[in-house]
Structure 1
């Protein structure tokens, strides 16, 4: 009787280990951060940029889309800088205090002109704040997806 109890306990232990599979030594994929949409994100100190992308139909002019998050009590001014044919261009933006600021919507269109990157490419950019700077590769998309059709730069 005692041998059966020991065997049952050993079998139960082996069953638990085999059913847990890779979970014992593998990190679940859900624990890896990733950008769940078409854009990219950047955390730089107290400034967070989320789902940043550029929409363009010709690669010459683009509309910058995204959200800037700022949980501090003061506005954060930042600059996005990129190069076209060796010449640097930039736009200035502000992440308003205590919340999120969307840019690139119909009321607040942010135009990158000249853009210098065709749809399907990545725009090499640098984000500057008063305290830091960081590189960001922003995807350039066209209006193939219908949800982007109204967000292309106005001609």
Structure 2
């Protein structure tokens, strides 16, 4: 009888350790950092770059709109430089106040609060390099995914197919001056 009880205990322990033992040596998925969305993330000093994507119009658009959340975990405001591609293009600047979060690109029809890349010819489904840096901190280059408005959650983020150009205004030539027309006033 004692042998039967001992065998049952050994068998129960073997089954318990056998089924739980795989968790002892298997990597835990919850300890690995990953981007749970379509975008990519990185950090520059006290600035966290979160969920960066570029949205473009797949039907012949020439503008890419950067959609990103910048988080300043520091105690001073930072002016973040955002540069496209090979860093030879004109950078855009985004100021993030101390301890604040700044969302960029959520209003693509607006004339402010956006970072547009133009001309932009990278196709949706590709990766596009974007460089983030501020002050004397070492920057980070992220391979940002390019998406279009095919998914409903990105439909409202598609930028215009082309950026508006400045409308020229009439500038007076040096010889021209405008003189106000005289108006009648009552005599004193």
Q: TM-score, normalised by structure 1?
A: 0.87
- Tell me by how many angstroms 1:125 deviates: 2.0
- Tell me by how many angstroms 1:59 deviates: 5.7
Cα gap change, 1:27 to 1:42, in 2 (>3 Å): same
Alpha-carbon distance in 1 for matches of 2:88, 2:75: 35
Alpha-carbon distance in 2 for matches of 1:54, 1:122: 9
Aligned residues: 154
Aligned to 2:147: 141
Aligned to 1:90: 91
The structure whose residues are more often strand, as a share, is 1
Aligned to 1:53: 53
Deviations 1:26-70 (A, max 9, x none): 012232111111111112221101111010114621111010011
- Tell me by how many angstroms 1:116 deviates: 4.0
8 A Cα contact 2:48 2:73, kept in partner: no
Instruction: Give matches, 1:109-124, under 5 Å.
Output: 109-124=114-129
Larger radius of gyration: 2
Aligned-partner SS, 2:52: strand
Structure 2 residue runs of 5 or longer lacking an equivalent are: 163-188
